[in-house]
Amino acid sequence: MDANSLWNEINSLLKDDFTPVSYRTWFDHVKPIKLDHNRLTLQLPSDLHVEYWQKNITSKVIEYAFQITGNDITPILVTENQVNDEKQEQAERQRNSPIEEKNNQLNPNYTFDKFVVGKPNMFAQAAALSVAEDPGTTYNPLLIYGGVGLGKTHLMQAIGNYMLEQDPTKNVVFITSEKFTNEFVSAVKKDAHGGSEMERFKEKYRNVDLLLVDDIQFFSSKDKTQEEFFHTFNDLHKDGKQIVMTSDRLPNEIAKLQDRLVSRFNWGLAVSIDEPDVATRTKILQSKAKYSNIAITDEALEYLAEKVDSNVRELESALSRVKAYSEFKGNRLRINTELVEDAMAGLDFSNKIERTVDINDILRKVASYYDVSVDDIKGKKRYKEIVAPRQVAMYLSRELTKTSLPKIGKAFGGKDHTTVIHAYDKIKRALDNNDPQLKDEVADLKTEILR
Ligand code: ADP
Ligand code: MG
149 lines ligand 1 (CB under 6 A): yes
CATH no. of 96-273: 3.40.50.300
Indicate which residue's Cα is closest to atom 5 of ligand 1.
151
CATH 1.10.1750.10 in the chain is located at 359-449
Separation of alpha carbons 128 and 158, rounded Å: 8
Q: Which CATH architecture has domain 3-83?
A: 2-Layer Sandwich (3.30)
pLDDT the model gives residue 85: 67
| Residue 93 predicted with pLDDT over 70 | no
Q: What is the pLDDT of residue 20?
A: 81
Atom of ligand 1 at shortest range from CA of 315: 12
- Whether residue 177 has pLDDT greater than 90: yes
- Tell me, what's the pLDDT at 129? 95
Domain with CATH 3.30.300.180 in the chain: 3-83
Q: Is the CB of 316 under 6 A from ligand 1?
A: yes
**Which class does domain 278-343 fall in?**
mainly alpha
93-101 long-range contacts (CB < 8 A, ≥24 apart) are none
The amino acid at residue 98 is P
By DSSP bridging, strand 242-247 and strand 210-214 are parallel
Q: Can you list the positions of beta strands (E) in 74-141?
A: 74-79
- pLDDT tens, 19-57? 887 788 889 889 999 998 888 999 988 877 888 888 889
Using CA atoms, how far apart are residues 149 and 152, in angstroms rounded to an integer?
8
Average pLDDT over residues 260-267: 95
* pLDDT at res. 121: 96
Measured from the CB, is residue 145 less than 6 Å from ligand 1?
no
The pTM (predicted TM-score) of the whole model is 0.62
The distance from CA 104 to its chain's CA centroid, rounded to whole angstroms, is 21
Output the CA angle 131-37-32, nearest 5 degrees.
165
Output the pLDDT for position 89: 63
Res 236 pLDDT > 60: yes
Question: How would you classify residue 175: left for phi > 0, otherwise alpha for psi between -120 and 50, otherwise beta?
Answer: beta
Give the ligand whose atoms come closest to the C-alpha of residue 214: 2
Atom of ligand 1 nearest to the CA of 147: 3
Q: Is 148 in the pocket of ligand 1 (CB under 6 A)?
A: yes
Q: Which pLDDT value is given to residue 21?
A: 78
Residue owning the nearest CA to atom 11 of ligand 1: 313
Sign of the torsion formed by the C-alpha atoms of 424, 426, 427 and 428: positive
Q: How far apart are CA 396 and CA 448, in angstroms?
A: 12
How far apart CA 268 and CA 263 sit, in angstroms, is: 10
Mutational test site, ligand 1, from 154, 156, 288, max ligand atoms within 8 Å of CB: 154
Query: At residue 349, does pLDDT exceed 70?
Result: no
The reply to whether ligand 1 has any atom less than 6 angstroms from the CB of 283 is: no
Looking at the chain, which residues constitute the CATH 1.10.8.60 domain(s)? Answer: 278-343
Domain with CATH 3.40.50.300 in the chain: 96-273
- Mean pLDDT of the 47-68 span: 85
Fold of 359-449: Chromosomal Replication Initiator Protein Dnaa; Chain: A; (1.10.1750)
- For 373-388, what is the mean pLDDT? 94
In angstroms, what is the span from residue 302 Cα to ligand 2's centroid?
A: 26
- CB of 154 within 6 A of ligand 1: the answer is yes
Query: 152 CB less than 6 Å from ligand 1?
Result: yes
Residues 107-129: tens digit of each pLDDT: 999 999 999 999 999 999 999 99
Mean pLDDT of the chain: 88
